[in-house]
Amino acid sequence: MPEIQLSLDGMPLPARPGQTVGAALTDAGISAWRTTRNEGRPRGLFCGIGICFDCLLVVDGVPNQRACLTPVRDGMTLDTGCAPGGPETPTQGGGAA
Ligand code: FES
């Protein structure tokens, strides 16, 4: 299936048509893309069905979108609120969900 391109905090992120944003992030090895407000604990996909709101991020400038429910679209921009290389860079690999 042909890839489409999203951007995550300004960096390219490949995805496949029909995926959710959460699936595209997981495929890229990103397991957490935000942190909890009080304790800074990593969060990403947890329930995967739109219930827990752990997977929030900014999609095309609209805040608080659930990655697990949002279908990808070519050219979509995703913002975690933490720039690459910053103190809250999204976690790759075995981070907590
Ligand atoms: S993973 Fe629970 S709402 Fe998205």
Expressed as residue numbers, the domain containing 24 is 4-82
Q: From ligand 1's centre to the CA of 42, what distance in Å?
A: 14
Ligand 1 centroid–CA 45 distance in Å is 6
Supply the CATH number for residue 13's domain. 3.10.20.440
* pLDDT range class, residue 97, cuts 50, 70, 90: very low
**Residue 20 placed within a domain:** yes
pLDDT digits (tens, 9 = 90+) for 43-64: 999 999 999 999 999 999 999 9
Quick count: other Cβ atoms within 10 Å of Cβ 28? 17
pLDDT in tens, 31-41: 999 998 899 99
Domain count, the chain: 1
Question: Which atom of ligand 1 is nearest to 44's Cα?
Answer: 1
Atom of ligand 1 lying closest to residue 50 CA: 3
User: Does the residue 88 lie in any domain?
Assistant: no
Instruction: Tell whether the model's pLDDT for residue 87 goes beyond 80.
Output: no
In a domain, 96, yes or no: no
Q: Residue 38 domain-assigned?
A: yes
> Residue 91: inside a domain, yes or no?
no
Q: 13 C-alpha vs ligand 1 centroid, how far in Å?
A: 20
Task: Report how far residue 62's alpha carbon sits from residue 93's, in angstroms, rounded to the nearest whole number.
Answer: 27
**What span, in angstroms and rounded, lies between the C-alpha atoms of 93 and 52?**
21
